[in-house]
Amino acid sequence: MKKKSVLIVEDIHSIREAIIDLLSNSYDVFGAENFDEAVDHLKNQKIDLTITDIRLPGKSGIDIVKYIQFNYPETLYALMTAYNINDYIHYAKEYQIWNIIPKYSFLDIHLIEVMVEKILSNDIFGVEKYFDKNFKIIDNHLNSEFEEAPLNGLIYKQIRSDQERSILCGKISKYLIGLGAPKSIQQVLEELTSNAMIRAPRTNAGDYKYQFEIPSHDMVVPVDNIELSPEDYFTIGYGSTETTLFIVVRDQFGSLKKEEILHRLDRHISVDELTGLPKGLSDSHGRGLYICREISDQLIFNIETNKCTETIAMINREGRSGFKSLSIYEVPMTH
């Protein structure tokens, strides 16, 4: 099979060369220093994926994205920046940018490899992609009670009711805090599981199954003591490696839209010019994802529409946190 091709646009020589080095075993990799050089490469051969720095001499990485969207709609793209990614969330929303990698000295170069593989294949699910070959997965104890995850691995549990959710989340958070997670990991568990249990399940008509809307009060209220029906069960995975603690929540719906993720993050991150405050500050909508992203060092979304949403929250155990990446992956729709 012909190797896929990747274009790296980065003006700092050593960073560009390092990424080219990293990827050239598996891909045909081209390097460009600026917009014009990138355009030359795009014209000369089919590029499957372009990874570009945002701030470049002259025209920016966002200009490259716009150029690609207009001229090469088949070419995928991802961005990198040494600056705060939150400053670019608004652009991400405006220009449909799903992946931004933070350039900082603790960046694990392997993350770039994983991102490229995920973007260029339909194989996006699974936290194990981020770790080595010895990573253990226990997925046949779904229905038993809480147990500790294997060292360098994770264990999946299935959740079928409100009661199971609260018992399991309590135990998982205690376990992860014992391994060094911040106490606020409880919040992450609460948010991610309530997304999977209450927001994700919808009827074919698109109505919520386990919460009802009160339009007069602009509110949605979850049903009390939810008992999920079997087709609505979701799974939660948790575990650790030497460097990382993580939570994985998977539902069976894939109803979370990637545009919706950016919309919610943007409302809480980008500052409204009129008020000087984020728009989301004044209401209670969709603060959960923002809080999860703030607490975790990495928050990764993997989506296959109508099949599965997988959200992965990672905490670095060595305190090596830089700016937070933007990581949203979706299995392309087949027509």
Q: Which residues bind other proteins (CB under 8 A)?
A: 11-15, 17-19, 21-22, 33-34, 55, 57-58, 82-83, 103-110
Q: Smallest distance from the beta carbon of 93 to other proteins, in angstroms?
A: 21
106 or 212: CB nearest other proteins? 106
Burial 255-269 (b: 16+ CB within 10 A, else e): bbebeebbebbbbbb
β-bridge partners, 247: 238, 313
34 or 255: CB nearest other proteins? 34
Q: Smallest distance from the beta carbon of 14 to other proteins, in angstroms?
A: 3
Element (H, E) at 170: helix 162-178
Q: d(Cα 189, Cα 196) in Å, to the nearest integer?
A: 11
Q: d(Cα 81, Cα 53) in Å, to the nearest integer?
A: 6
Taking CA atoms, 317 is separated from 156, 241, 295, in Å, by: 21, 9, 13
81 or 252: CB nearest other proteins? 81
107 or 331: CB nearest other proteins? 107
As a residue count, the chain comes to 335
33 or 162: CB nearest other proteins? 33
Q: Smallest distance from the beta carbon of 121 to other proteins, in angstroms?
A: 21
Q: Smallest distance from the beta carbon of 78 to other proteins, in angstroms?
A: 16
22 or 271: CB nearest other proteins? 22
Q: Smallest distance from the beta carbon of 294 to other proteins, in angstroms?
A: 20
Q: Smallest distance from the beta carbon of 22 to other proteins, in angstroms?
A: 6
Q: d(Cα 172, Cα 181) in Å, to the nearest integer?
A: 11
Which residue in this structure is represented by tokens 């249990």? 197
Please say whether the beta carbons of 6 and 48 come within 8 A.
yes
Q: Smallest distance from the beta carbon of 18 to other proteins, in angstroms?
A: 4
88 or 233: CB nearest other proteins? 88
Q: Please report how the helices 287-295 and 185-194 are oriented relative to each other, as an axis angle in degrees rounded to 10.
A: 140
Tokens of 320: 């090596």
109 or 142: CB nearest other proteins? 109
Q: Smallest distance from the beta carbon of 36 to other proteins, in angstroms?
A: 10
3 or 55: CB nearest other proteins? 55
User: Which residues, 6 or more positions from 129, have their beta carbon under 8 angstroms from its beta carbon?
Assistant: 114, 117, 118
Q: Smallest distance from the beta carbon of 128 to other proteins, in angstroms?
A: 19
User: Which residues, 6 or more positions from 299, have their beta carbon under 8 angstroms from its beta carbon?
Assistant: 289, 292, 293, 311, 312, 313, 314, 324, 327
Please say whether the beta carbons of 184 and 292 come within 8 A.
no
Q: d(Cα 58, Cα 61) in Å, to the nearest integer?
A: 10
